[in-house]
A and B are shown apart, each in its own frame.
Chain A
Amino acid sequence: MAFLRIDPSGAGPVFQQIVDHVKRAIATAQLDPEDRLPSVRELAKELVINPNTIARAYQVLDAEGITYSRRGAGTFIAAHKPVVKGEERRRRFREAIEAALADAFHTGVSEEEARRAFDAALKRFRFQEER
Chain B
Amino acid sequence: MNPIGFERLTHYYGTTMALDALTLEVPAGCVFALLGRNGAGKTTAIKCLLGFLPPTRGRARILGHDAAALPPGVRNRIGYVAEGQRLVPWMRVRGLVDYQRASFPRFDASLCAAHLRRLGLPERRRVLHLSRGMRAQLALALALAQRPEVVVLDDPAMGLDAVVRREFLDVMIDLIAEEGSTVLFSSHILTDVERVADRVAILDRGVLRVDAPLDEVKRRVLRYHARFEGEAPPPPPLPGLLRARRRRNELVLTVVDGEASVEPACTELGARAVEVEPLGLEDLFVDYTAERGEGAQ
Contact = CB atoms under 8 A, between A and B. Distances in A.
Q: A and B touching (C-beta < 8 Å)?
A: yes
Interface of A: 8-15, 40-41, 44-45, 48-52
B176 A51 contact: yes
A50 B198 contact: yes
Interface in B202-237: 215, 218-219
Interface size class of B (residues with CB under 8 A): 20 to 34
Contacts of B197: 50
Contacts of A40: 177
A48 B194 contact: no
B173 A51 contact: yes
Nearest to B219: A13
A15 B174 CA distance: 19
B198 A13 contact: no
B194 A44 contact: no
A8 B31 contact: no
Contacts of B280: 8-10
A45 B173 contact: yes
B195 A48 contact: yes
A15 B218 CA distance: 13
Contact of B278 (A12, A41, A49): A12
Contacts of B267: none
Nearest to A40: B177
Given A14-B215, A50-B176, A52-B176, 10 more contacts: A9-B280, A10-B278, A13-B215, A15-B215, A41-B178, A44-B176, A44-B177, A48-B166, A50-B31, A51-B177
B173 A9 contact: no
Interface of B: 31, 166, 169-170, 173-174, 176-178, 191, 194-198, 215, 218-219, 278, 280-282
B278 A8 contact: no
Nearest to A50: B196
B191 A49 contact: no
Contacts of B219: 13
Contacts of A15: 215
Given A9-B280, A10-B280, A12-B278, A48 B169 contact: yes
- Nearest first, the 4 closest Cβ-Cβ pairs linking A and B are A9-B280, A13-B215, A8-B194, A41-B177
17 contacts: A8-B280, A8-B281, A9-B194, A13-B215, A13-B218, A41-B177, A44-B176, A45-B170, A48-B170, A48-B173, A49-B173, A50-B31, A50-B173, A50-B196, A50-B197, A50-B198, A52-B198
B218 A44 contact: no
A61 B282 CA distance: 29
A52 B213 CA distance: 12
A12 B222 CA distance: 11
Contacts of B196: 49-50
Nearest to B190: A9
Nearest to A54: B177
Contact of B191 (A9, A11, A51): A9
B282 A9 contact: yes
Contacts of A10: 278, 280
Nearest to B176: A51
Contacts of B178: 41
A44 B170 CA distance: 9
B32 to A, nearest CB: 11
Nearest to A106: B273
A8 B191 contact: yes
Contacts of B174: 41, 45
Contacts of B176: 44, 50-52
A105 to B, nearest CB: 13
B136 to A, nearest CB: 18
B227 to A, nearest CB: 12
